[in-house]
Amino acid sequence: MSGAFWTAHTNQMKEFWRRYRKNRAAVVGLSIIIFLGVIALMAPYVTPYDPWEINFEDKLVAPSSKYPLGTDHFGRNVLTRIIYGARLSLTIGFVAASIAATVGTLLGSFSGYFGGKIDHILMRFTEMFMVIPTFFLNLLVIAVFGGSIWNVMAVIGMTTWPTPARLIRSQFLSLKEREFVEAARLTGASDRKIIFRHILPNAVGPVIVSASLQVAGAILTEAGLSFLGLGDIHQVTWGQMLYRALAYIRNAWWIATFPGIAIFVTVLSFNLVGDGLNDVLNPRLKER
Amino acid sequence: MSLGRYVLSRTAQTIPVVFGVILLNFTIIRLAPGDPALLLGGEVVATTPEFREALLRELGLDRPLWEQLLRYIVNVLRFDLGYSYAYRSPVATVILERIPATLLLMGSSLIFAAVLGIVLGLNAGKRPYSPFDNILTVFSLTGYSMPNFWLGLMLLLVFGLILGWLPIAGMYTIGGGLEGVEYMLDVLKHLILPAIVLGTSQLALYARLTRTSMIEVMMQDYITTARAKGCHERHIIYDHALKNAMLAPITAIGVNLGFVLSGAVLTETVFAWPGIGRLAYDAIFIRDYPVLMGIFIMATFLVVLASITTDIIYAFLDPRIRYR
């Protein structure tokens, strides 16, 4: 890599940040996500307690100086579990959104670039996935194949790819007619090279925006599945913490309240970041 | 294209979706780990090997795969969704019994969300970036960043348990022996919290959509013309702008039905509302796969039906659509 490349790159990043910074809510959202990310990574250093430690003598203890957010029905420390829960809840969000973005990008690129029959078939397939109520498909698949954390991430990813697929396809439809693609073709570049090296880098903007919203959506979906008892009971996630919350809501309001706040703040932050990215990457939409 | 032809072609488009879902269901059960007889027959099957054999034959599981698929498709199209051994009755019957409760809940939440959302969005869109508009933006963001079942838990806690204003579970007071108007009021009281919970994210969506399209409509030439003619501002907003600004949220209602239906599963679980959502929750709990599959197919039918209906209404309201 030459020095010029890095200079250009740094300037681009600076410009990006200059425009992103204008949306103050988006900056707050990003700060919260970074904060949560740090907490998740450093969990064992942030809290001295074990999220799995069961202590029946201290079960359903209200928030106090010993347990700032109280304890659950096994006497487990709610604050500690929220801190550890950030690890998996964020991971689920990122992995599911990455699966969706990857599958969607591949299908959308081929569909938009090759057009014709391939496009027709892939788009019918995409439409099918947009119409069917995917949450029910998630329920069925996880009930049948089990709710391991891998299944949950895979199922969420595999049912949310149509949005990025359609975004990428429409980008490809317009970009493939542009001069630089024609130029690349004249130099004898292969289809693969044109798709991945020339068109795709110019087409990813909307997908990045939608991915940030899909992280939020995946965290919400995991929470919903866990609440219905379809999550991975061997893991600490915020959704999993809410699983038994309804049963104990009469005598332990804190079990339901705090993990929900964690989900809410995180999802809100990703939505704000999505808005901010949208302002930077799709400026035309904002002018309307 | 005439409206009639449009309806026909729009309906034909949904055929692949319906077959796709049937095929998906079939594949999931065949790929499932373990004995398909156990999966479809539930715990009962484990009792005797004879019963298992009989069930295999009855379900046609001893036939070649293509024959099983064909049979499955024919059955679903005849609305035979299999048999639930947990409820000891056909799946279709079990589901149909629960549909009215779900429709009542979804309908109420929809009316709440659409009416309030359009009114709020309209007022925000009239004056973008005014204090009212900013508050609504914050509210919308909050509304769809919240897990709806968690909002349910919180409202249940505050209004049901702490303040004691509203009932927290079920559709009517059990053993209340109420009739007529009193019964209806009782149901209404039980309906308030779940309908608000299910309606909140929709409300956020419709408010935002109406706001955006209101801003767009207000910039159109015909609004400028109306202003130039000296029309009263109120007349412009309610007679010229509103009708056009409402198209976006109305289309969204149909598209959104799938999400609302999934939201209903969670909401009904929180409030023990006796609809298909709660049925799904119970089916998950006892691993009643025929019911889960039936609900998935049923939900798809409902969503497909709703999307056709909205498209037709839209084509009726806006003739430009038909010529695309």
Give the model confidence (pLDDT) of A16-63 as tens digits.
888 888 888 999 999 999 999 999 998 888 877 787 777 777 777 778
Q: Which amino acid is at B20?
A: G
Q: Torsion over CA of A224, A230, A236 and A242, rounded to 10 degrees?
A: 40
Structure confidence at residue A288 (pLDDT): 36
Residues 192-231 of A with CB under 8 A from B: 216, 220, 223-224, 227-230
Under 8 Å between Cβ of B296 and B76: no
Burial of residue A91, with CB atoms counted within 10 A of its CB: 0-12 exposed, 13-18 middle, 19 or more buried: middle
- Rounded to whole angstroms, the Cα distance separating A237 from A223 reads 8
Structure confidence at residue A286 (pLDDT): 45
- Among A32, A227, A257, the strongest candidate for a mutation testing the B interface, having the largest count of B CBs within 10 A, is A227
**What residues in B contact A257, CB-CB < 8 Å?**
154, 157
- A118-157 burial: b if 16+ Cβ within 10 Å, else e: ebeebbebbbbbbbbbbbbbbbbbbbbeebebebbbbbbb
Structure confidence at residue A281 (pLDDT): 83
- Cα A45 to chain centroid distance, Å, stands at 26
A1 pLDDT tier (thresholds 50, 70, 90)? very low
Inter-chain CB proximity A136 and B299 less than 8 Å: yes
**What residues in B contact A134, CB-CB < 8 Å?**
258, 262
CB atoms within 10 A of CB B4: 8
Inter-chain CB proximity A288 and B293 less than 8 Å: no
- Rounded to whole angstroms, the Cα distance separating A197 from A110 reads 14
- A231-252 burial: b if 16+ Cβ within 10 Å, else e: bbeebbbbbbbbbbbbebbeeb
Structure confidence at residue A5 (pLDDT): 59
* Interface predicted TM-score (ipTM) of this complex, two decimals: 0.88
Lowest mean pLDDT among A198-207, B38-47, B186-195: B38-47
Higher-pLDDT residue of A60 and B16 is B16
Residue B201 token pair: 């994210």
**What residues in B contact A230, CB-CB < 8 Å?**
284
Structure confidence at residue A287 (pLDDT): 41
Inter-chain CB proximity A132 and B141 less than 8 Å: no
- Rounded to whole angstroms, the Cα distance separating B268 from B169 reads 9
A154 in contact with B, Cβ within 8 Å: no
Q: How do B83-84 and B89-90 pair as beta strands?
A: antiparallel
- Rounded to whole angstroms, the Cα distance separating A74 from A54 reads 5
Under 8 Å between Cβ of B125 and B218: yes
User: Across chain B, what does the average pLDDT equal?
Assistant: 85
Inter-chain CB proximity A264 and B145 less than 8 Å: yes
**Three-class SS of residue B83?**
strand
- Among B129, B137, B145, the strongest candidate for a mutation testing the A interface, having the largest count of A CBs within 10 A, is B145
What average pLDDT does this structure show over B176-182? 79
- Rounded to whole angstroms, the Cα distance separating B233 from B236 reads 5
Question: Which candidate from A133, A139, A223 shows the least CB-CB separation from B284?
Answer: A139
- Rounded to whole angstroms, the Cα distance separating B111 from B108 reads 5
Taking alpha carbons only, the member of B202, B275, B283, B218 closest to residue B39 is B283
> For B241, which DSSP code?
I
A288 in contact with B, Cβ within 8 Å: yes
Inter-chain CB proximity A132 and B269 less than 8 Å: no
Structure confidence at residue B323 (pLDDT): 57
The string of pLDDT tens digits covering residues B58-77 is 777 777 888 888 888 888 88
For residue B46, pLDDT over 70 is answered with no
The listed range with the strongest mean pLDDT (A70-79, A272-281, B234-243) is A272-281
Q: Where are the alpha helices (DSSP H) in chain B?
A: 3-13, 15-31, 36-41, 49-59, 65-77, 91-126, 131-145, 148-155, 180-218, 221-228, 233-235, 242-245, 247-255, 257-271, 276-285, 289-317
For residue B322, pLDDT over 70 is answered with no
Inter-chain CB proximity B150 and A242 less than 8 Å: yes
**What residues in B contact A151, CB-CB < 8 Å?**
none
**Closest CA–CA distance from residue B189 to any residue of chain A (Å):** 20
Specify the pTM.
0.90
User: Across chain A, what does the average pLDDT equal?
Assistant: 87
Inter-chain CB proximity B300 and A131 less than 8 Å: yes
